[in-house]
Structure 1
Amino acid sequence: MLLRKTAFVLALATAALLASTATAAAAPAADAPGPFAAAAANPVIVVGGLSGIAVAYEPIAARLRADGYRTFIYQLPGLGLGDIPTSARAFATYVNQVRAATGAAIVDVVAHSEGGLVSRYYLKRLGGTAIVGRYVSLGTPQYGTYVANIVAFLGLGTCAGVVACQQMTIGSAFLADLNAGDDTPGAVRYTTIRTLQDELVRPTGNAAVNDGATNVLIQAYCPLRVVGHLGLVLDGTAYTIVRGALADGPVRPNCLAL
């Protein structure tokens, strides 16, 4: 099992090295409001994770657009292999581009995996709490993951030289800094979503944050629902939680959603 998880991490890193490293392009035109989002709803930025090319997030972006949200995808610089604070500074620039393109003062963020750490660093260290209304993370190793530690344990170097992997290791200096003090600063509404079947965030409880966030374990509501790490951006039940969080609604997952 450990070897399989390690191989998966290395496969992601290899895919990232072979893929394009360009960040997402300028924000597309806004769509008309749908049945769930009010016309004045904040734009939503979907933030990708490690090796997550923009097109991989089109399924969740399409759901958001169908519900009427002006939706944009942010692909991490270098596909997330590099320093997370550096990625967060680039993200800050992108947020301002979305605001300029839409005329919106406030945006909401839906972030997958490492993208949740990039976004949280932006909120906590770069003044993002004045600009983000809602933060939703999907399978983000908020307190690190043993899967990152395993690479070093098996003698493959410090995360095979991937800086972001080093920073997502449990006990890293980056995470110690990010998690010092209040996990949920500002007036931002924080929601974390996690799954028991997450292959890359171990222990899965490390995908939650403290200090007033709404932390949702999918299987606490839908015990038979099987959702993996990458599946969090594809799964219908996970999306109903995202949609509820963006509408400030109660946690009512649809366990049968496709």
Structure 2
Amino acid sequence: MKIGSKLAAAAACVAVAGALASAPASAAPATGPIREVIIVPGQTFGALPYQPLKFGLEQAGYHVDVLTTDGTDLPADARVIAGAVDAARKADPRGGIAIVGHSVGGLSARYYLKDLGGASKVNEYIAIGTPQYGNPAGCGQSGTAHDVCDTSAFIKNLNSGVNTVGPTRYFSIRSAKEWVDGRLTGNQCRMTPIPTVTGNGEYDHIIEPLDPRVLQQIKEALAGRCDGTQASTPAGSINVKQTLYPGGK
């Protein structure tokens, strides 16, 4: 090879190396099967009610981490999620990761995916009874209730543009009597609503982490199966009024 050719080849190698160095370290979630499940509790629920769910998923072969969050500061909870995801990726770089968020835990998880770059690291997002477009009942209150208000800056930011960002796969699970239907714009699997246990949407919402049917739907989602409707809706096509009381008050 001539000297000029060698120099050209070397320059090309340097250019390619530079391009690789400037590319994001994690441009997409791990391609391997999901091995890590991170559970994000709802407001004031704490980790204890999620232990049966954790046990059921561990019995199915997953490593499960229930975070210590209380839903009083959703952006702060999102940073806790970020730390847990990074730790999981470091421990098992080839394993896929799923986040399971119950109630407002699904909001902080989606904030992590959208605003903190989490969609480039997480394979699946599974929301259980999450008020994705907020709830007017939360308006005028303090703390998380203010964030959940449908007119809050948090909710407006979260729902600007397409909701289901990045390569992450999005699933929604809810009871038939939930106060909100959990729909998102973009690509989303909307699992078949689970028949009511109590006849009261609030009570059904509280006991969702203990419902074996919820556990089964999570397992279906982790296996990549959509037991319901695979939807694809454009940005701006959903508003809060459309999501309220899908099963009647």
Tell me if both proteins adopt one fold, taking TM over 0.5 as the criterion: yes
Which whole-Å deviations, capped at 9, do the CAs of 1:162-192 have from their partners, x for residues lacking one?
Answer: 2x11010112111110000011011111001
Which residue, out of 226, 237, 242, partners 1:250? 226
Q: Is 1:65 the equivalent of 2:58?
A: yes
TM-score (norm 1): 0.69
CA contact (8 A) 2:34 2:98 kept: no
Alignment correspondent of 1:116: 106
Alignment correspondent of 1:54: 47
SS state of the match for residue 35, structure 2? Answer: coil
Between the two proteins, the alignment pairs up a number of residues equal to 194
Which residue, out of 108, 118, 121, partners 1:128? 118
Q: Is 1:213 the equivalent of 2:188?
A: yes
Name which of structure 1's ranges 39-48 and 168-177 shifts more when overlaid on structure 2. Answer: 39-48
TM-score (norm 2): 0.71
* Residues 250 and 225 (structure 1), Cα distance of their counterparts in 2 relative to 1, 3 Å cut: farther
SS state of the match for residue 62, structure 2? Answer: coil
Q: CA–CA distance in 1 between the matches of 2:122 and 2:44? A: 24
* Residues 223 and 166 (structure 1), Cα distance of their counterparts in 2 relative to 1, 3 Å cut: closer
Which whole-Å deviations, capped at 9, do the CAs of 1:100-157 have from their partners, x for residues lacking one?
Answer: 33445541111101110111011001110111001100011110123313xxxxxxxx
Which structure has the larger Rg?
2
**Structure 1 portions without partners, runs of 5+:** 1-38, 150-157, 253-258
Q: CA–CA distance in 2 between the matches of 1:139 and 1:103? A: 30
Alignment correspondent of 2:239: none
* Residues 57 and 224 (structure 1), Cα distance of their counterparts in 2 relative to 1, 3 Å cut: closer
Shift of 1:47: 0.9
Which residue, out of 76, 83, 90, partners 2:80? 90
SS state of the match for residue 230, structure 1? Answer: helix
AA aligned opposite 1:117: L
Alignment correspondent of 1:179: 159
Name which of structure 1's ranges 118-127 and 93-102 shifts more when overlaid on structure 2. Answer: 93-102
Task: Give every structure 1 segment of 4 or more consecutive aligned residues whose post-TM-superposition deviation is greater than 6 Å.
Answer: none
**Structure 2 portions without partners, runs of 5+:** 1-31, 229-249
SS state of the match for residue 110, structure 1? Answer: strand
* Residues 117 and 223 (structure 1), Cα distance of their counterparts in 2 relative to 1, 3 Å cut: closer
CA contact (8 A) 1:108 1:134 kept: yes
Higher strand share: 2
